[in-house]
Every structure is written in C-alpha cells, then in structure tokens.
Amino acid sequence: MDYRNETPEIIREFLFYHETIKGHSKKTIDEYFLDLRMFFRFLKVYRGIVPSETPYEEISIMDIDFNFVKSVTITDVYEYLTFLSRDRPKRKNSRNTEYGLGPAARARKTAVIRSYYKYLTLKSNNNRLSENPVADLDSPKLRKSLPRFLSLDESVKLLDSVDGPNRERDFCILTIFLNCGLRISELAGLNLTDLREDSVRVLGKGNKERIVYLNDASAAAINSYLQVRKNQAPIDNRALFLSKRRTRISTSTIHNLVKKHLLAAGLDSTKYSSHKLRHTAATLMLKSGVDVRTLQELLGHEHLNTTQIYTHIENSSLREAAKLSPLSSYKK
C-alpha cells in the first residue's frame, strides 16, 4: 500500500509527519491513512457530494482540500461514529458479516481524527487551522477487562507438549514469549545480529529499541535452535527465526504455531494466543516480585498505566484483605 498516490496533500502532509518526524511504523501509517480515507469517504456520502448508493471502495478523496477539512464539525464526527457503530461491516468481503464496529475500533478511529486535527492546529506549516473543531470530541467508552493468561502449570504443560519437525524453533519461540514477554512482531523481527551473550536487542513500537536480558532457559533454547538453524541453508541470512521456506518467519506463522501447540497441550486455543503468552510472561514476573516499573521497561510500554493492568491480576494486599474479613472463616 502506497498512500502517497492515493491521498491529497492536506492529508499526505500529516502522514509524512508521523512517518518521518514521529518515526511511526509503516503499519501504523497505513492504519492512519485507511481511517482518514474512510472518514472523508463517509463525509462525501453524508453531505450528498456522491450518491449514497456508491460503494465506499469507489469513492476517491483526492479532491479533499483545506476548505473541506476546515468545514468539518464535531457533529459530523459523531454522525460518522454512529455510522460505524450501526452500519459499518465488521468483516469486509464476507457474506454473513455482522454490522457495527465495537468500542475499541471506534476509539482508535476517533483518536486518529483527533490527532489529525491537532496536527493541523499546532504543527502544520502550509494549512494551519486557527481553531480545532474536534477539540472537545469524546472517545467511545471502553469496557475494561483483565487480560487472560496461562498459569505456571499451564505454561510448563505448553512447553512440554512441543514436538514435531520444527520443535527446536517452536520451543525457542514459546520460551521467549513466556520468559521475555515480546510482542509477536518483535519476535518475528529478531535478527542474528540482535543476539548478545546474555541479552537480545528488540525493536519495538515506534522503532524504539530496548535490551531484554535472557535467563538460562531462554539462552539454552536459543542455542539449541541455532544448532539446527545453521544446517538449514537460510535464504534470509539475517533473520533469527526461519519459516519452512527458509525465509523470515511471519507473524501469521507464529500465531498458527502457538495455536497448534496450545491444542496439543490440551489448552483452549480459542481463549489464548501469542499475545496472551505476553500477558502470561508479565503476570508470572509480577507474581514473582518484579516491580511494575521494571516490568514497564521490559515490555516496552510507553506509559506506566498500560503496565499497571497486571497489578490488578495478582495483588497480594487484596488477597490478604479478603482473608482478614471478619466473615472469612464462616461456613454454614
């Protein structure tokens, strides 16, 4: 996807800023582009600029200019959010799709619109708005839920179940997930040159680097896998983890192998995923006494409140408070 050929200058400037100045990943920039394109496509239908029966995929936004962007009101945005919650298909190109996006998806799209108008108000050099029309825009309320994670026994069971032609690679990947808490994209992106004697260099969100130290289990799993990898004649010599085609392993392959081994371990593969293994690593470390600030740095969280969700999972003081209740020993 190349947004440079499909966006007018008034939007392209914003995307360039986030790509070159803010250093956001291509995936993030693509999501910003798609969200803004959908917003302005909706407005062209909503305002009667194009017929309402026109498929959204056929609506060009190349004619969007500064005056159009400036004319947007907070009411327009709420109309758009109503459309998303009621009429937007959840899964495109599906015959039996449901309609209406959930709060998390709508909150992300709201954040992009807010970010865009904040940029035009504060950062833009060529087309600066004197007033932000969406400054008071509220975000959809999100339901707060605790992340799912495996227990220590379930984690051991998962590792013990690993077998098959790629067992050294898969065991290494699961071990790193459960001990280091890497994101799936971070794990797929690891290179041989990222390995140190007792640590690994990780490229996280926003191209931010961090050092993650390896415990004995992780180091041993990596060394065992490297003994196998050197005999595979890799096509991608840089990649640490290889696919069966000897190229860099993809995130979808990692996702599938995690599901496969969860099933082999007798665990519910519909409840857990590679991201849940990251949750597991964080939770088990917190239970073992790792403080939340250290956990924040290890996981690569930009904000502490993202990490603090794990403190609600295993809070020894709350457990002790339950035991100290005067009725804690009452039995009928």
Take residue 100 and report the two structure tokens written for it: 């209406």
- Among residues 41, 88, 261, 278, the one annotated as catalytic is 278
Candidate list 12, 167, 255, 275, residue with the active-site label: 275
Annotated active-site residue in 18, 37, 183, 279: 183
Taking the mean position of all CA atoms in its chain, how far away is CA 132?
A: 28
Annotated active-site residue 278? The verdict is yes
Choose, from 205, 255, 259, 260, the residue flagged as catalytic.
Answer: 205
**What sign does the dihedral 301-287-215-260 (CA atoms) show?**
negative
Q: Which residue out of 116, 117, 272, 310 is catalytically annotated?
A: 310
- 3-state per-residue secondary structure call for 132-199: CCCCCCCCCCCCCCCCCCCCHHHHHHHHHCCCCCCHHHHHHHHHHHHHHCCCHHHHHCCEHHHECCCE
Q: What is the C-alpha separation between 322 and 316, in angstroms, rounded?
A: 10
Active site residue 332: no
Residue 106 annotated among the catalytic residues of the structure: no
Tell me whether residue 148 is one of the annotated catalytic residues. Answer: no
Q: Which of 174, 200, 202 is nearest to 300 (CA)?
A: 202
Continuous H helices in the chain:
9-16, 26-46, 66-71, 74-86, 103-122, 152-160, 167-180, 184-188, 216-229, 251-264, 274-287, 292-299, 304-307, 316-323
Q: Which helix (H) or strand (E) holds 209?
A: strand 209-213
Say which DSSP state 245 is in: T
Active site members: 183, 205, 275, 278, 301, 310
